[in-house]
Amino acid sequence: MSESLDRLYYKPLEAVVSAAEHGKTVRSVLERQLGVSRKLLSQVKLTEHGLTVNEKRVYTTAPVSEGDVIRVRMLREESDDILPQPIPIEVVFEDEHLLIVNKPAGMIVHPTHGHYTDTMANGVVYHWRRQGERVRFRPVHRLDEETSGLVAVAKTSYVHQQLSEQMQASEVLKLYRAYVYGAPDPAAGTVDAPIDRDPDRPHVRIVTPAGYPSVTHYETAKRFVSADGELAAAVRLKLETGRTHQIRVHMRHIGCPLIGDKMYGPEEGAVAAWEEAAGRQALHAETLGFTHPITRERMEWHAPLPPELVRLEGALSS
C-alpha cells in the first residue's frame, strides 16, 4: 500500500495530537501545528487518502484524541502545459520539497503569452523529468528577464503557501546587488515610494501617490569615478515589499538609474563603455533566506556575481 501511495501522493504532512488538543477538530490541529490552509484541506479531503487519522479517512471537522496521527497527502502533479527542454539550469539547492536556482540574465522565469519556450520553467521541468520526479512548477517569486540570481521554486502547494506567507510577513531575506549611475545621497537609506502602472504605458511602472506601498532599503558598497569624472556606485539593496520592477523604479526615482536598464535607464548621459561591459541591466539577486517549511530550519543561499557584472565592475574601476 505504501508504494502505491508514494506513486500517487507526495510524502505526507504529519501531526500528532497533543494532550492539549484532545477533542479538537482535525482542521484546528492542522492549522495550529502546520499552518495548513483551508484551501489545501478542501482539496485533499476529496481524495481517498488525502486526509486521514490513524490511516482512516476523515472529515476536517472530525474530533481527535491525544496520540492520534493526522496525515495530509497531496496528489502528485505535473506541469503538462510546460514543454520540457534541455536548458542548463544552475541548481543551488534541492530536496524533495523545494528547489533553488541561480537564474542567468536573459532568461524568463515562467512561460508567458507569446513566449512558451526557452524559460527557466522549461529547463526545470526537463530537470525533474530526468530525475523521474512528478512535480508541478510553482515559483515562489520571480525575477525580471534581465536580472540574474536566486529564485525559489516550491514542489508542493503546501510549501508554496508557507513560503508565500513568509514573504507577506517580510520573513524572507532577499538581498540584491546593483550598479547605478551617480551615487545615492545619503549613501544609505530607505526609499518609501508607492509604485503603480504608468497609465500611458501599462508595462512600465512609476512612482505615484496613488500606487501600492513599496519600500526598498539600500546601502552604497562602493563609489566609482571615471577618468572623465562620471560617477557610479555599487549598491546593496534589501526589499521590504516586492512590486514589479521595484528596485529599478526606486533607483531611478532617487536619481540613480541602473546601468544597462533599457526601460528605466538614464534618458541621456549613458556611458557607452559601461553599457557595453554590462550588456544587460546591472541587477543581481545575490542572497535568499527563509525558514524551510518542512524542517523549520533557517536557511540562506548566496549566488556569486556573474561574469558580466564582474566585467562591469572592472570597467567602472578603470
Q: Which residue has the cell 512528478?
A: 134
Per-residue 3-state assignment (H helix, E strand, C coil) for the chain = CHHHHHHHECCCEEEECCHHHCCCEHHHHHHHHHCCCHHHHHHHCCCCCCEEECCEECCCCCECCCCCEEEECCECCCCCCCCCCCCCCEEEEECCCEEEEEECCCCCCCCECCECCCCHHHHHHHHHHHHCCCCCCEECCCCCCCCEEEEEEECCHHHHHHHHHHHHCCCCEEEEEEEEECCCCCCEEEEECCEEEECCEEEEEEECCCCECCEEEEEEEEEEECCCCCEEEEEEEEECCCCCCHHHHHHHHCCCCECCCCCCCCCCCCCHHHHHHHCCCCEEEEEEEEECCCCCCEEEEECCCCHHHHHHHHHHHC
Which residue among the candidates 6, 95, 144, 192 is catalytic per the annotation? 144
Distance from C-alpha of 31 to C-alpha of 33, rounded to nearest angstrom:
6
Instruction: Clarify whether 144 is annotated catalytic.
Output: yes
CA distance 55 to 33: 19
Q: Give me 56's grid cell.
A: 482512516
Residues with active-site annotation: 144
